[in-house]
Chains A and B, each alone.
Chain A
Amino acid sequence: MRLSPDEIIFWQSGFVKLNATIVFTWVLMAVLVMASILITRRLSRDMTRSRWQNLLEIIVTGIQDQIREVGLKHPRTYIGFIGTLFLFVAMSTLSTIIPGFEPPTGSLSTTAALALSVFVAVPIYGMTERGVGAYLRSYLEPTVIMLPFNIISDLSRTLALAVRLFGNMMSGTMILAILLTISPFVFPVLMSALGLLTGMVQAYIFSILATVYIASATLTQKPSPARPAGET
């Protein structure tokens, strides 16, 4: 049984190969970029605007609000990275309804690449926001003894990000394939719908976790103000 679209190789020359993961990723990228170009080509700056522009504005402002709610005060700095994470994973999940389309996020290579991107982006944003010294010192907090644990924490959460997304996407695809072989068509449709739901949830979880990691890296530790009596 095929567990990952990486195994579908269209072309290979030594180490370099062109598998289904990369190709379908390009397809998704093309769809996203073309849709963006088409919709933003005639953006209205007046009070009346098209429904597609409304959809995009809702999505973009929704992502902005989510980033702000997590605690990042300047969401526009991070919306390129976090918003693209969400849109890519969400579009990848949505693409599962197209017969024959292999979602790129069903490949552990893709999820690992995304997790690695987060793993790299977090310190970059942290150092940009707080300075290199301040960010590196955060690994020594609260004590020096915590340094290895902090490093292990970073690595483990990156691994967890990759495996969580891969496991969910792969399992959905696998369950669909297995059900198609043993049951009538109606039940796989329901499972496919459930897979869409879990995929969207995973897209939200992945991007929110990335936001939380970036927020924890960029926020400066400040003494918290005294809470009013009765507040929990």
Chain B
Amino acid sequence: MLIDWFTVGAQALNFLILVWLLKRFLYKPIMTAIDTREARIRKERADADAIKADAETARDTFQKMTADFEQARAGLLQQATDDATAERQRLMAEAHSAADALAAQRAKALQTEAQALATSITDRAWDEVFAVARKTLNDLADVRLEDRICDTFVHRIQASGDQPDSALSTAIRGTSEPIPVRSAFDLSPEQHAAIRSALHDTFSTDAELTFETAPRLIAGIELTAGGQKLAWSISDYLSSLKASVGETFSARDASQAGPTADADRTQEKVSA
């Protein structure tokens, strides 16, 4: 008999015991170790995923911040460039304005200086001419300057009579109002009479004459009638002298203004 039933029962029991023993000492510890390790690996992977997610979030944040920073930097740079350009244009405009003002001021100063110089020359010329004439007349002919002026004025009245159709002659003949005669100095009654006589003889008029003293005429006498004037005075000479001096200064200013204008234009090119 190949089967021994006691042995069969004993082996079945042995097998069940072995199942229990191996469950207790083999499968359970091994399974527990595997489970523990897998749980640990899962946890580490979860941690790694979380860290990766955090890193990606941080990276995204950093990239966004970098992009924002670049954008802000570009904006600030553009704004600074615009501000600098505007400031430069403003400073250039101010400089141009200041240069223009300085040039105008300089031109005005030159003009003022020229006028002052002309006035000074005129005043001195008047004084000198007057003094020379006075001294010459006194020394040579023993004649007062005022007398010679009056005589000259009388002669001029008489000379005007050579042109009876002139506007002055017409005006003097046609006026009925008193004719004002202004002189830089007080005329004597003889000179009043000489002038009145010359007018009467020359223009055949009985018009009244009113004599006035006007120092601004500067050693001169003038007569006004109907809008026409007949005059002689040293001031006329001085006026022609003044015009001559003025032309001299104008020519000098033009010659000086040429290089200055060229220099200004060169300065503008450099600034651009």
Contacts and interface: CB of A to CB of B under 8 A. Distances in A.
B11 A25 contact: yes
A88 B3 contact: no
Interface string B32-56: 1110110010000000000000000
Interface stretch (A15-23, A186-194, A216-224): A15-23
A57 B34 contact: yes
Interface stretch (A28-36, A93-101, A148-156, A176-184): A28-36
Interface in B103-130: none
Contacts of A36: 21-22, 25-26, 29
B271 interface: no
Contacts of A76: 27, 31
Nearest to A3: B2
Interface string A40-60: 100111110100010011001
A56 B2 contact: no
Size class of the A contact interface (CB-based, 8 Å): 35 or more
A32 B11 contact: no
A114 B11 contact: yes
A173 interface: no
B36 to A, nearest CB: 4
B80 interface: no
B17 A117 contact: no
B33 A81 contact: no
B61 to A, nearest CB: 33
Q: Is the interface of B mostly helix, strand, loop or mixed?
A: helix
Interface string B10-30: 111011111111110111011
B38 to A, nearest CB: 10
Contacts of B14: 22, 25-26, 29, 113
Given A25-B11, A43-B30, A116-B12, A109 B22 contact: no
A45 B40 CA distance: 9
A85 B9 CA distance: 16
A227 to B, nearest CB: 34
Contacts of A61: 34
A22 B18 CA distance: 13
Contacts, number: 124
Given A40-B25, A87-B22, A116-B12, A22 B31 contact: no
A171 interface: no
B8 interface: yes
Interface string A137-180: 00000000000000000000000000000100000000000000
Given A57-B30, A80-B27, A21 B11 contact: yes
B30 A40 contact: yes
A84 B4 contact: no
Contacts of B12: 113-114, 116-117
Nearest to B25: A36
A22 B10 contact: yes
A64 to B, nearest CB: 9
A102 interface: no
B6 A17 contact: yes
B248 interface: no
A83 B31 CA distance: 13
A6 B16 contact: no
Contacts of A21: 7, 11
Contacts of A117: 12, 15-16
A32 B19 contact: no
Contacts of B2: 3-4, 6, 108-109, 166
Given A22-B14, A112-B3, 15 more contacts: A3-B2, A6-B7, A17-B6, A17-B7, A19-B7, A21-B11, A29-B14, A33-B25, A36-B29, A37-B25, A40-B25, A40-B29, A57-B30, A110-B7, A116-B8
Q: Which 8 A-B pairs have the closest CB atoms?
A: A113-B11, A109-B7, A40-B29, A36-B26, A113-B12, A36-B25, A80-B23, A108-B2
29 contacts: A6-B2, A6-B7, A17-B6, A19-B7, A22-B7, A22-B14, A25-B11, A25-B14, A29-B18, A29-B21, A33-B25, A36-B21, A45-B33, A46-B40, A47-B37, A57-B30, A61-B34, A76-B27, A84-B15, A84-B23, A107-B11, A108-B3, A109-B2, A109-B7, A109-B8, A113-B12, A113-B15, A114-B12, A166-B2
